[in-house]
Amino acid sequence: MQEDLQNNSSGLQDNNDELYERFSITIDKGQEPLRIDKFLMRRLENATRNKLQQDINTGMVLVNGKEVRPNYKVKPGDSIIIYSDMSPEETDVVPEKIELNIVYEDEHLMTINKPAGRVVHPGSGNYSGTLLNGVAWHLQQQNPAVSEETLPRFGLVHRIDKNTSGLLVLAKTDMAMRQLAKQFFDHTVKRQYVALVWGDMENDKGTIIAHVGRHQRFRKLFEAYPEGEHGKEAITHYRVLERFGYVTLVECVLETGRTHQIRVHMKHIGHPLFNDDFYGGDKIVKGTVYSKYKQFIDNCFAICPRQALHAKTLGLVHPATGKEIFFDTELPDDMKQVTERWRNYCSSAGKIK
């Protein structure tokens, strides 16, 4: 007996920033009636009975486009869609009082401007002090009944790198979580980043299309695979905002959300992010290495001691009202200061090189 099982994943795997996978299953004609939680236990890797029942109860499992209960019995021809965090790592989120820069909040969702240096969620080596620890404390001050069981991972549906600053949206209800997870999977969320990259980009705008996946030798790194032989499809649109000869300020709009996507794509086209120690941007990539210039670069690195990348804007459909909402932030101080230094440096040089 076979089912048509497709992992249309945009979820928490090796190379995604969206935290939910989507599975679609069409039930075979020979399937005997069986509780849906038991049926899915046998089909989905890393699934547990409790986790599946939680997903079903929160509407993350749809049968023929409708929510069901855990005791629903599947039948031949049923079309099942599952949105679920299938990560094998389960780390408790302990509430901690951490200052949060909340840009917007209502009863359904909250948008946070994350500072560089803050890990988004607990995991190996980072069990406390993360953004989610602070979110857990914040939400439990509003409603002590809120827990990781009632709101999985406290509403997180996507993430950004530790040393990337910028906007994150979190759900505050099961319904909002379901709606937001679907928007991220369908790539309808509008995300604009601003990055400072090495070199003078040849074109004022363009599109980078290259799969992104883990490096074949160095598993902490990701790599671009333009032929699509590894990884998952990744598309980044870019536009030049300002040129400084040695570096360029660019706007990047994501069509997909792969881990390190902008960093990997920019390295792939020869323009690694300024001070990106993972992808070669933490050394002089453009410009002659002489003492005065090197000192200028070192000073810039000291001011912005991380990859110069900021998740500036975020647009989505509000899960309750159905209206489009849009959030925008200013560049953080470290990127502002470095950009201004480059502007002054090129101006004093008399021309852009």
Q: Which residues are catalytic?
A: 161
Structure tokens at 334: 């470290």
- Residue 147 to residue 95: CA distance in whole angstroms: 10
Instruction: Give me the residue label for tokens 């992992």.
Output: 7
Q: Give burial (CB, 10 Å; 0-12/13-18/19+) of 277.
A: middle
In this structure, are residues 171 and 19 in contact, taking their beta carbons and an 8 Å threshold?
Answer: no
Cα 78 to chain centroid, rounded = 32
CA distances from 140 to 135, 143, 144, 180 (A): 8, 5, 5, 21
SS3 category, 79: strand
Residue 308 backbone zone (phi > 0: left; psi -120 to 50: alpha; other: beta): beta
| C-alpha gyration radius of the chain | 22
CA distances from 12 to 76, 94, 201, 323 (A): 30, 21, 32, 27
Q: Which amino acid is at 163?
A: N
Residue 23 backbone zone (phi > 0: left; psi -120 to 50: alpha; other: beta): beta
- Residue 282 DSSP code: S
Instruction: Give me the residue label for tokens 């809120």.
Output: 146
Greatest extent of the chain over all pairs of C-alpha atoms, in Å: 78
Structure tokens at 279: 């992808």
- Residue 264 to residue 268: CA distance in whole angstroms: 6
Alpha helices by DSSP H, listed for 240-322, are: 261-268, 291-303
Structure tokens at 68: 């069901």
In this structure, are residues 304 and 331 in contact, taking their beta carbons and an 8 Å threshold?
Answer: no
